[in-house]
Amino acid sequence: MPRVLLVEDEDHLAAGIRFNLELDGYDVETIADGLRAVDRLAPPPEGPVWDAGPAIDLVLLDVMLPGLDGFQIVERMRQAGNYTPVLMLTAKSLPEDVVQGLEAGADDYLPKPFDLPVLLARVRGLIRRRDWARGPAEGQALVRVGEAEVDFASLEIRKAGETVRLTLLEAMLLKLLVERRGQVVTKAEILEKVWNLNPDTETRAVDNFVMRLRRHVEKDSGSPRLLQTVRGVGYRLVEEPSPA
Amino acid sequence: MVATSQLSRSRRPKWHYVAVGVVLIVVAVALTVAWQILAAPESVSRAVGPARVIAYFFGSLLFLLLIAGLVLIVILLLREVRLNERQSNFVSAVTHELKTPVASLKLYLDTLEYREMTPDRRAEFYRTMRQDIERLSGTINNVLNAAMYTDRPVADPRPLDIARVARHAIELTATRHQLPKEAIRYEGPAALRVSGDAQALETAVLNLLDNAVKYSKERVEIEIEVWGDADGQAHVKVRDHGIGMSRTHLPFIFTRFYRIGAEVRRSRTGTGLGLFIVRAIVKGHRGTITADSPGPDRGSTFTISLPGLLEPEAEPEAEAARA
């Protein structure tokens, strides 16, 4: 049974969401305070031996919280190496708020007020997307991209003896590019399939994530040879790096 | 329109900035020209003795004026920046205060529509929805009141019973927050007559009581005291034992949109308009409002003082008192 952590300080919303998620078969844990959420999701490394409780499959995170806001929580989670999918729920719905949430490390974003069926579909979708991102790519558990080796099951990327954890969105973007190796993947398609956003959304988020991936796979991320930009169209992961 | 002037900033150009700017430019030009004249070789021979002293005196004066003007501009700009910050906090707070109950109402409506549930659960959901509507209506009233009550004197003051107004506000607050009877204690005479707008004064007392409940710790314990003094003033004092505040915040709490702490990490609901409305209403009655807190976690006390205490035997106007 997937376990969802609901971080929400408004009692009514928390109770209503919990009621619905439990009916759909999720185990739900609720926290109403930002600092306690960080203790659960990103404990300080120098702290005492930590027993936070059962593993969490998905975090539903409000932005305006007492103690610490949702953007800071998701940032701390990612810094602490916790890559559990995060769906942000918030009254802030401007495009720049959505982008700020995604940049901070959230995997999906739902403005309040929301439709109940949409919330439940997003929760199911995020868990499904996580399973897809973790599944084998090109029929293999380990995939080679240039000199880097990508392990989608653990969302890890290894290069020159170093291991880096990928966020769900980074893993999904890389997987989409790997599965379409050699072909151009348009920005609109990436926004739709990876970000679950309208293809027309004006955002630099995709470019920023491609830059992050380049740092993981390219020898010199300043002059990329593997993950190429196709100007005005999108991106392409080439079979073999073109000769310098 | 009143609403526009109270809640948003005027779009008229800021003439005081322009005036200070023009004066500064004129002074700077005058100083430069005078300096050029004084520095010219032929003027050295001519401008000697007292003329030179006078020129230096006025030059120094203008220079000081220039510096004073610059300081003034910086102060004005800082004030603008602070107002902008408070306004952006207000927009954020109102967005949260309006959207949260709406989101909750929508969620419960959807749940009632899509899910099977027991009658008990359904009744519980209806209760939750009613509370959300109360909250929404409270925020809307706050925004409207901030637009409606200005510092201008009450248009049509009438005799009213402030003790009765206070007791009615206590009843409303207790019902609204589902408080036990002993949570708010009233101390004062059975009747105390002043002249003013009963509805506005009730809004002021309600706002103070709402704040006292909101900033209480787990246990709500509030005292409200009403009395008249020999100087012909009526006083209403609301005291809580809640989270209090540090002295540094006291001078600002009646300012429009002022809230303590960052909006995004807010633990108490609100828009930063409540105390601003109280002050506007009290000023409209030519009264004063004071706030005091011994410090964080040691409670707060707010006292409204109104002039125009009426004799008990004054001509009763039952209609106004009943309001």
Can you give the pLDDT at residue B38? Answer: 73
Tell how strand A234-237 and strand A184-186 pair up: antiparallel
Q: Which residues pair with A28 in a beta bridge?
A: A4
**What's the number of CA atoms in the CB half-sphere (13 Å) around residue B202?**
18
Q: Is the pLDDT of residue A210 over 80?
A: yes
Q: Is the pLDDT of residue B255 over 90?
A: no
Identify the top-confidence range among A204-208, B71-75, B251-255: B71-75
Q: Where are the domains of chain B?
A: 2-85, 158-322
- CATH second-level architecture of B158-322? 2-Layer Sandwich (3.30)
Q: Do B111 and A19 touch (CB under 8 A)?
A: yes
| Average of per-residue pLDDT values in chain B | 82
Residue A5: phi, psi to the nearest 5? Answer: -100, 120
- CATH second-level architecture of A166-237? Orthogonal Bundle (1.10)
Residue A26 one-letter amino acid: Y
Torsion sign (Cα): B275, B279, B281, B282? positive
- Laid out side by side, the sheet with B288-292 consists of B184-187, B222-228, B233-240, B301-307, B288-292
Residues in CB range of B59: below 8 A, 6 or more apart? B31, B34, B35, B38
Q: Does B252 or A77 have the greater pLDDT score?
A: A77
All residues of chain A having their beta carbon less than 8 Å from the beta carbon of residue B96 are 64, 91
Q: Is the pLDDT of residue A200 over 90?
A: no
Can you give the pLDDT at residue B185? Answer: 92
Mean pLDDT across B256-268: 64
What CATH number belongs to A3-134?
Answer: 3.40.50.2300
* Portion of chain A with pLDDT greater than 90, in percent: 23
Condensed to tens digits (0 to 9), the pLDDT of residues B36-90 reads 777 766 655 455 667 777 877 888 888 888 888 889 888 888 888 888 887 777 7
Answer whether B268's CB lies under 8 Å from B259's CB.
no
Can you give the pLDDT at residue A58? Answer: 93
**What's the number of CA atoms in the CB half-sphere (13 Å) around residue B64?**
6
Q: Where are the domains of chain A?
A: 3-134, 166-237
Mean pLDDT across B184-213: 90
Give the Cα separation of A65 and A79 in Å (integer): 20
Can you give the pLDDT at residue B44? Answer: 53
Q: Measure in Å the smallest separation between the Cα of A169 and chain B Cα atoms.
A: 25
Residues in CB range of A123: below 8 A, 6 or more apart? A4, A21, A24, A26, A58, A60, A87
**Mutation site for A-interface testing, chosen from B98, B104, B133, B271 by largest number of A Cβ within 10 Å:** B104
Condensed to tens digits (0 to 9), the pLDDT of residues A44-58 reads 665 544 455 678 899
Please tell me whether residue B307 adopts helix, strand or coil conformation.
strand
Give the Cα separation of A80 and A43 in Å (integer): 8
CA dihedral B68, B73, B79, B81 (to 10 degrees): -140
Categorize the per-residue pLDDT at A86 as very low, low, confident or very high, splitting at 50, 70 and 90.
Answer: very high
**Mutation site for A-interface testing, chosen from B133, B243, B264 by largest number of A Cβ within 10 Å:** B264
**Six token digits for residue A199:** 């293809």
By Cβ distance, the residue of A68, A71, A115 closest to B110 is: A115
Task: List, in sequence order, the alpha helices (H) in B41-152.
Answer: 41-46, 50-114, 119-148
Q: Measure in Å the smallest separation between the Cα of B107 and chain A Cα atoms.
A: 6
